[in-house]
Each structure stands twice: as C-alpha cells, then as structure tokens.
Amino acid sequence: MKIAIGNDHAGPDYKIAIVAFLQSKGHEIINKGTDTFNSVDYPDFAHLVASDVEKKRADFGILICGSGNGIAISANKHKDIRAAVCWTKEIAGLARQHNDANIISIPARFTSIQQAIEMVDTFLNTNFEGGRHAVRVNKISCI
C-alpha cells in the first residue's frame, strides 16, 4: 500500500515512528511533512497529502498536527477527501467503517506515539462497511 504522510512542527517524532512501523509492514511511504520542530504552517502539508490521495498517487493519507483539527480542516477542502480526527483506535476504526475516511488526522499533543501507531494500524486494516453508510458518505461532498 502507498501512504502519504504529512505533519507540522508538532509531529516529526510521531512521523518517524509511524513511518518505521509502516515500512516494517512493507508499505511505501511518501513523506510530505517537516522533519524539524521549527514552526511551519500546517495547511502547506495538509494540501500536499490530500492532493496525493485525491489524485490516487497514494491509497491513504496520514496527517499530524498539535490538535489534529487544523490539518484535517485543510485536507477536507479537497474533493473526495474525508480526513477524520482520531484520538483512539476505536474512533479510527469507525472513521473507516462508517465514514470511508481516506486520511487519518492525529492530534500529537493529545495522544502518545504508541496510541498513534495503534490508530494508524487500525485505520489501515479496517474496511468501509458500505450499505447505509455509503448513502450517507455520498451526501458529504459539496464540491
């Protein structure tokens, strides 16, 4: 699987750990995030990851910022992107099962690195249930 990952200054250490985990599972990673803790603007990285998912250059995306919100809001401006802020693996699973989320957004200031890895693992290994959820997902886009 090909996965795009992006982060702002709140998440370089999270990205490093998540990338190592994903590469150990054989996934190809597209790094769109910063590698330093110097202040940067999260929309710059959100748009890079969302574009890769939107244009099918990546199967899924992972975004990391302090709250997970700003980076997800930015990504959700793209057509057919459903970025979900997740703070537990159960929410990550439901984001895939019920919302067909294609990007997980992780709040680095409110989760541990281990929790983030568990959320990513659950997110990538959970299928969309379709059915009644597909009807709802098809009503999301205004673009």
Where are the alpha helices (H) located in 32-88, listed in sequence order?
Answer: 42-54, 69-75
Question: What type of residue is 48?
Answer: L
Q: Which residue has the tokens 């999270």?
A: 14
Catalytic residues: 65, 98
CATH number 3.40.220.10 given to 2-137 = no
pLDDT digit string, tens, across residues 14-32: 999 999 999 999 999 999 9
Neighbour count for residue 95 (Cβ, 10 Å): 25
pLDDT reported for residue 130: 80
| pTM exceeding the 0.75 threshold for the entire prediction | yes
The span from the CA of 93 to the CA of 125, in Å, is: 8
pLDDT digit string, tens, across residues 75-132: 999 999 999 999 999 999 999 999 999 999 999 999 999 999 999 999 999 999 888 8
